[in-house]
Amino acid sequence: MENNTVVKEFLLLELTYVQELQPVIFMVFLILYVINLLGNEAILVVVISEPRLHSPMYFFLGNLSCLDICCASVTLPKLMSNVLSRQSTISFLGCITQLHFFHFLGCTEAFLLTLMGFDRFIAICNPLRYPLIMNPQMCVLMAAVAWVSSFFYGLMHSVMTAHLNFCHSQKVNYYFCDVKPLLELACGDTKINRWLVSVVTCSLTMAACFLTVLSYFYIIGFLLWKNRSCNALRKAMSTCASHFMVVSLFYGTVGLNYIPPTSAESIIQEKFAGIIHTTVIPVLNPLIYTLRNKEVMLALKRVFQRKFLLKFSLRRKPFATFK
């Protein structure tokens, strides 16, 4: 008979056992988190306040920025607190909650990137019907479907994992709670859980990636064989380049995370890819979109100029009244 004890907490893997490096690691993650918050909040403010950016493309970009803030907030605060306290523990409920939101937000990002690729496909290959197809109601509906369906996808993993019995070591071989590391600690039958990861998760990821890449193939094919214009192709690809960079980073790290490791080196590679996926990519997304997008850069300048002029006028107003 198996010894099924009630698990109250898990012990997460430390990023390094060298105590002298702990303050450095904390500062690095703190800087990344602050840049993530400031960069993505700036994009949200610009997209909401600038009328010129009230279009489907920037609507989905605003959703992605909101998602990046939430995604980093799932892992980074807990990781930084563990670094400071030197006790890398997390409660059972906190672990399941972290797992749920990680998969919920990750699936939502995959769907949003697919929708952004579809938006560019319609805008370039069928511009006359673009306002009809990508109307505001349809954009809100597609975004809502992405968020809601992803929530239930994450709920599926969290509920199935929460019902497992953990009778082995409580030390999670990862720096946050995910399905695969927790399955290594579970006893009993985990076939359904492993099937959900290998079939459902991988199928959704591959389908979203395939549809996104297919959109770009159609865009390139349309411009080369129908328009036969290299200038049009160059202009379109410069517009889509930022989105394609984000897609490559996202699916590259997801692939490294969920390809079964075959050696100790591949396990280290998987952990490194996880850090890139959860901490670096949410920081790079706003930088990629702002630096490669002239409209966003101009809108940022206009917004900050208006705020500066407003503050300057408020400072001078008391003197004018006194006079």
Q: What is the pLDDT of residues 288-311, one digit of tens each?
A: 777 666 777 777 777 677 666 666
For residue 262, is pLDDT > 50? no
Q: Which residue has the higher pLDDT, 294 or 202?
A: 202
For 273, the enclosing helix (H) or strand (E) is helix 264-275
3-state secondary structure 228-261: CCHHHHHHHHHHHHHHHHHHHHHHHHHHHHHCCC
DSSP secondary structure letter of residue 86:
S
Give the global pTM: 0.86
pLDDT at 156 over 80: yes
Report which of 241, 273, 246, 305 is spatially closest to residue 175, judged by C-alpha positions.
Answer: 273
Dihedral (Cα; 215, 219, 221, 222), 10-degree rounding: 130
273 or 164, greater pLDDT: 164
C-alpha 301, offset from chain centre = 26
Dihedral (Cα; 274, 278, 279, 282), 10-degree rounding: 140
The model's pLDDT over 214-242, given as tens digits with 9 standing for 90+, comes to 988 888 777 777 766 666 666 666 667 77
CATH code of 9-318, in short, is 1.20.1070.10
> pLDDT by residue (tens digit) across 110-155?
999 999 989 989 988 888 899 999 999 999 999 999 999 999 999 9
* pLDDT per position as a tens digit, 53-98: 888 988 998 999 999 999 999 999 988 888 887 678 889 999 999 9
